[in-house]
């Protein structure tokens, strides 16, 4: 009985333990993953026990899963952080590190700024494996070596935010990415880097998706004015604008070094660099860049670019072809960068732009685009536009100052009148409802009885640019025939209320159809036909003179190095072929991975030049490095920099020489001995054979004339 009772007790204990563990498995995850809201209610960057909740404290509470921490309450670890304050939070301490899954929701980029003035570390750091979303904020004035606004190691989404005026001394002026980022409806402006990636540096093998965003005024001292993409990294970019970005050496907007980039319906304008003002593609491992429905305006390409079709280049540097329905040496007629609606600045397409209806619908669909960068419908006139902006005009030729709409207009908008016109006068010759019409009973439209679309009309789709007021002129005539042929077609419907309900049926032939109701008197048995005669032929008012981009000669840069016995390293720098003008080449000597102090300098040359630099007493393997080269405009440097050449400087060895001075001592046996004192003066060493004349050191030594006599 005892044994059975003991077994029962053990089973009960085990059963209770299992129930507790199952309960823990069921309850603990629910409470730990349930998102909660922590509200920041102060602009002060603090971590002290008081009644207020700062952003830093909210992040700590979420990371520690503290339900109450200082003035913050409600954190669970998977939290949404909101703000009840507006203004600027000046971050004065260490970086704001995000160690947990977070959704940081600011009140709006124009209402709240996270400012890093005076900092030397990244404003935000996203920890490995964390999923973080940031929206409705401005992140500004960060200062760090890399990623001054955000250093990302997690999965990050940035939406409806502004990342501006950040500077990194090395790379990634705003963001340094070592994982995955998605950017939506955001602006990156006036960020800079001391070397590469003025706005973003994307590290090896990682990827970034960008939609509906603008990069403007970003710069780098060497490569990638807006973005630098490293080996194996990738970008998927659509509906985005790159304007006024610059780099000293390569890739004013984008510099790609061995990664894959795809651009769809994007606009590049006014980006500059010595090589590849818009895009530089360097792909030693077979990677590349593909463009679809994209504008390259005053933004040159360098390296191989794949023409995905329906692109537009204001010059002829990107390799676009008419075979792919792309345009070269074509002015896209862009308006200035401005607020055209939406949350970011864009370049509107001016009337008559060849980009209007010039895109490929399949490419836009493949990128998942249903709207343009501003959020307007992506396809309005049956064919998508080229670039990030979708025009509601749909007119590819600029009309004259006083256009009269005709059936041949490409305008297929639907004016809907909000007024109800009423005929206030009746034609004096009222036609009877018969099939016979004469000139005397032809109703002539007048100002008071002609349906006229005014400024109060509602346009579907949105506002036309320019806005047409379709008013019949004196050249409009109305005739009654039994065979209705009209452009546009008017369909009379008999009702007792004389109202006009203009509607629009978009067609590929751009024939707007108007439907109105007429009174019972007069009664027409035929179909009234309105024939419109345009008196003014639309003539484009924007005339562009194409100035072809001068052909740039491709030149290569080579380097060799030698070292003499005194440790002077000579670098032989050669441009092939010789340059059109003088280039400035910057160089430095290195040992291992370190620059040798005092060996940096610059020189100018056109073809080949020897430059000699002292190794400053350092021996072994010395590297002569060309750090950068600025070539005149007529040349296109194809060599990837920095360029190194190594040599070995051998430390000289000194062999001492001796100058012997002999002193002899003779004994009675006439056997001389000597001792020698050596100096550094090279004189011959005397032989062991004494001469017959010497000065004895002993007073009883026989003289030289009695050497054989044995005594005196």
Question: What is the rounded CA–CA span in Å between residue 507 and residue 356?
Answer: 17
Residues 6 or more apart whose Cβ sits within 8 Å of residue 601: 586, 587, 588, 611, 613
Q: Which two tokens stand for residue 214?
A: 């603008």
Residues 6 or more apart whose Cβ sits within 8 Å of residue 547: none
Q: How large is the C-alpha radius of gyration of the chain?
A: 43
Classify residue 678: in a domain, yes or no. yes
Q: What is the pLDDT of residue 584?
A: 87
Question: What is the rounded CA–CA span in Å between residue 217 and residue 200?
Answer: 13
What does the angle CA 433 – CA 436 – CA 439 come to, to the nearest 5 degrees? 105
User: Are residues 367 and 359 in contact, defined by beta-carbon separation less than 8 angstroms?
Assistant: no
Query: SS3 of 648, please?
Result: strand
511-556 pLDDT, tens per residue?
333 333 333 433 333 433 333 333 344 444 443 433 343 445 787 8
pLDDT at 54 over 60: yes
Q: Are residues 665 and 639 in the same domain?
A: no
Q: Are residues 690 and 633 in the same domain?
A: no
Classify residue 663: in a domain, yes or no. yes
Q: Is 220 exposed, middle or buried (0-12, 13-18, 19+ CB in 10 A)?
A: buried
Q: What is the pLDDT of residue 285?
A: 58
Q: Which two tokens stand for residue 662?
A: 């002999």
Mean per-residue pLDDT for 605-623?
91
What does the angle CA 104 – CA 108 – CA 114 come to, to the nearest 5 degrees? 65
Q: Are residues 611 and 561 in the same domain?
A: yes
Q: Are residues 601 and 679 in the same domain?
A: no
Classify residue 599: in a domain, yes or no. yes
Q: Are residues 605 and 624 in the same domain?
A: yes
Q: What is the pLDDT of residue 432?
A: 35
Residues 6 or more apart whose Cβ sits within 8 Å of residue 583: 575, 604, 605, 606, 629, 630, 631, 632, 635
pLDDT at 378 over 70: yes
445-495 pLDDT, tens per residue?
333 333 333 333 333 333 333 333 333 333 333 333 333 333 333 333 333
Classify residue 277: in a domain, yes or no. no
Classify residue 249: in a domain, yes or no. no
380-426 pLDDT, tens per residue?
989 999 999 999 876 543 333 333 333 333 333 333 333 333 333 33
Residue 509 confidence class, pLDDT cut points 50, 70, 90: very low
Residue 79 pairs with which residues in a beta bridge? Answer: 36, 102
Q: Where are the alpha helices (DSSP H) in 142-286?
A: none
Q: Which two tokens stand for residue 304?
A: 């191989």
Q: Are residues 568 and 642 in the same domain?
A: yes
Mean per-residue pLDDT for 330-341?
96
Residues 6 or more apart whose Cβ sits within 8 Å of residue 157: 132, 133, 134, 135, 181, 182, 183, 184
- Output the CA–CA distances (angstroms, integers) from residue 250 to 348, 480, 635, in the order listed: 28, 70, 14
Q: CA torsion, points 239, 243, 245, 251, in degrees to nearest 10?
A: 60
Q: What is the pLDDT of residue 628?
A: 80
CATH number at residue 566: 2.60.40.2030
Residues 6 or more apart whose Cβ sits within 8 Å of residue 412: 381, 394, 504, 506, 507, 510, 511, 512
Residue 23 confidence class, pLDDT cut points 50, 70, 90: very low
Q: Are residues 577 and 632 in the same domain?
A: yes
Query: SS3 of 705, please?
Result: helix
Question: What is the rounded CA–CA span in Å between residue 590 and residue 599?
Answer: 8
Q: What is the pLDDT of residue 534?
A: 39
Classify residue 303: in a domain, yes or no. no
Q: Which two tokens stand for residue 341?
A: 């609606």
Q: Are residues 637 and 680 in the same domain?
A: no
Residue 286 confidence class, pLDDT cut points 50, 70, 90: low
Q: What is the pLDDT of residue 7?
A: 44
How far apart, in Å, do the first and last CA atoms of the chain sit? 140
What does the angle CA 198 – CA 199 – CA 205 come to, to the nearest 5 degrees? 100
Residue 284 confidence class, pLDDT cut points 50, 70, 90: low
Q: Which domain holds residue 567?
A: 553-649
Q: Are residues 689 and 613 in the same domain?
A: no
Classify residue 569: in a domain, yes or no. yes
Mean per-residue pLDDT for 267-274?
98
Residue 35 confidence class, pLDDT cut points 50, 70, 90: low
Residue 640 confidence class, pLDDT cut points 50, 70, 90: low
User: Are residues 395 and 412 in contact, defined by beta-carbon separation less than 8 angstroms?
Assistant: no
Q: Are residues 663 and 634 in the same domain?
A: no
Q: What is the 3-state secondary structure (H, E, C) of 407-470?
A: CCCCCCCEEECCCCCCCCCCCCCCCCCCCCCCHHHCCCCCCCCCCCCCCCCEEECCCCCCCCCC
Q: Are residues 569 and 595 in the same domain?
A: yes
Residues 6 or more apart whose Cβ sits within 8 Å of residue 634: 550, 552, 553, 579, 580, 581
220-263 pLDDT, tens per residue?
999 999 999 988 899 999 999 999 999 999 999 999 998 999 99
Q: Which two tokens stand for residue 199?
A: 């706005």
Residue 148 pairs with which residues in a beta bridge? Answer: none
Q: Is 180 exposed, middle or buried (0-12, 13-18, 19+ CB in 10 A)?
A: middle
Q: DSSP strand E in 616-695: where?
A: 620-630, 635-637, 643-649, 659-666, 672-679
Q: Which two tokens stand for residue 612?
A: 């000699």
pLDDT at 674 over 60: no
Classify residue 264: in a domain, yes or no. no
- Output the CA–CA distances (angstroms, integers) from residue 569 to 83, 305, 353, 560, 572, in the order listed: 61, 40, 57, 10, 10
The candidate with the shortest Cα–Cα distance to 243, out of 197, 192, 295, is 295
Cis peptide before 642 (omega within 30 of 0): yes
Q: Are residues 571 and 643 in the same domain?
A: yes
- Output the CA–CA distances (angstroms, integers) from residue 238 to 187, 288, 366, 386, in the order listed: 14, 17, 11, 11
Domain count for the chain: 2
Query: SS3 of 22, please?
Result: helix
- Output the CA–CA distances (angstroms, integers) from residue 350 to 334, 377, 649, in the order listed: 6, 18, 64
Average pLDDT, the chain: 74
């Amino acid at each position: 009985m005892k044994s059975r009772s003991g077994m029962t007790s053990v089973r009960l204990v085990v059963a209770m333990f299992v129930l507790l563990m199952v309960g823990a498995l069921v309850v603990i995850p629910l409470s730990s993953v349930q998102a909660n809201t922590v509200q920041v209610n102060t602009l002060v960057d603090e971590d002290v026990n008081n009644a207020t909740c700062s952003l830093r404290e909210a992040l700590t509470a979420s990371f520690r899963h503290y339900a109450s921490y200082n003035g913050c309450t409600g954190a669970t670890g998977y939290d949404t952080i909101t703000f009840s304050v507006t203004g600027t939070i000046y971050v004065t301490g260490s970086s704001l590190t995000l160690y947990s899954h977070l959704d940081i929701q600011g009140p709006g980029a124009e209402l709240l700024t996270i400012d890093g003035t005076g900092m030397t570390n990244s404003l935000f750091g996203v920890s490995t494996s964390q999923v973080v979303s940031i929206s409705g904020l401005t992140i500004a004035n960060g200062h760090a070596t890399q990623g001054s606004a955000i250093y990302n190691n997690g999965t990050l989404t940035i939406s409806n935010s502004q990342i501006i005026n950040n500077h990194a001394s090395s790379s990634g002026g705003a963001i340094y990415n070592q994982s995955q980022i998605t950017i939506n409806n955001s602006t990156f402006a006036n960020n800079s880097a001391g070397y590469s990636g003025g706005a973003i540096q994307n590290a090896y093998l990682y990827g970034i998706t960008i939609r509906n965003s603008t990069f403007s005024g970003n710069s780098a001292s060497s490569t990638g004015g807006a973005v630098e993409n490293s080996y194996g990294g990738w970008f998927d970019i659509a509906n985005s604008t790159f304007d006024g970005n610059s780099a000293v050496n390569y890739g004013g907007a984008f510099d790609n070094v061995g990664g894959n980039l795809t651009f769809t319906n994007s606009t590049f304008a006014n980006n500059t660099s010595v090589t590849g003002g818009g895009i530089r593609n360097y792909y030693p491992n077979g990677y590349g860049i593909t463009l679809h429905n994209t504008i390259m305006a005053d933004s040159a390409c360098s390296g191989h670019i794949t023409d995905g079709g329906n692109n537009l280049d204001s010059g002829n540097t990107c390799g676009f072809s008419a075979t792919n329905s792309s345009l070269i040496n074509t002015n896209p007629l862009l308006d200035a960068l401005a607020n055209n609606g939406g949350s970011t600045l864009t370049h509107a397409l001016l009337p008559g732009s060849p980009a209007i209806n010039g895109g490929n619908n399949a490419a836009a669909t493949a990128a998942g685009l249903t709207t343009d960068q501003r959020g307007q419908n992506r396809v309005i006139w049956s064919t998508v536009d080229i670039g990030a902006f979708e025009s509601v005009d749909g007119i590819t030729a600029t009309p004259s100052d006083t256009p009269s709409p005709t059936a041949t207009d490409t305008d297929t908008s639907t004016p809907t009148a909000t007024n109800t016109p009423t005929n206030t006068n009746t034609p004096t010759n009222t036609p009877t409802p018969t099939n016979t019409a004469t000139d005397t009973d032809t109703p002539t439209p007048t100002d008071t009885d002609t349906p006229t679309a005014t400024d109060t009309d509602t346009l579907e789709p949105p506002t036309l640019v320019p806005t047409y007021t379709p008013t019949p002129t004196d050249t409009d005539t109305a005739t009654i025939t039994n065979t209705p042929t009209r452009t546009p077609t008017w369909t009379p419907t008999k009702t007792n209320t004389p109202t006009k309900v203009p509607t629009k049926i978009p067609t590929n032939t751009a024939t707007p159809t108007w439907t109105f109701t007429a009174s019972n008197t007069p009664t027409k048995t035929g179909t009234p036909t309105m024939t419109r005669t345009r008196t003014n032929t639309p003539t484009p008012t924007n005339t562009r003179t194409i100035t072809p981009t001068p052909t740039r000669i491709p030149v290569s840069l080579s380097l060799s190095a030698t070292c003499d016995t005194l440790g002077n390293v000579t670098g032989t720098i050669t441009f092939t072929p010789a340059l059109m003008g003088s280039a400035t080449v910057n160089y430095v000597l290195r040992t291992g991975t370190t620059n040798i102090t005092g060996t940096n300098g610059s020189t100018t040359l056109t073809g080949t030049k020897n430059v000699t630099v002292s190794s400053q007493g350092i021996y072994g393997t010395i590297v002569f490095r060309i750090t950068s080269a600025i070539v005149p405009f007529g040349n296109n440097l194809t060599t990837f920099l920095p360029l190194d050449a190594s040599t070995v400087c051998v430390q000289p060895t000194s062999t001492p020489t001796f100058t012997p001075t002999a002193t002899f001592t003779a004994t009675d046996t006439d056997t001389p001995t000597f001792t020698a004192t050596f100096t550094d003066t090279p004189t011959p060493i005397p032989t062991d054979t004494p001469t017959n004349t010497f000065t004895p050191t002993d007073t009883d030594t026989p003289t030289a004339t009695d050497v054989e006599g044995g005594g005196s």
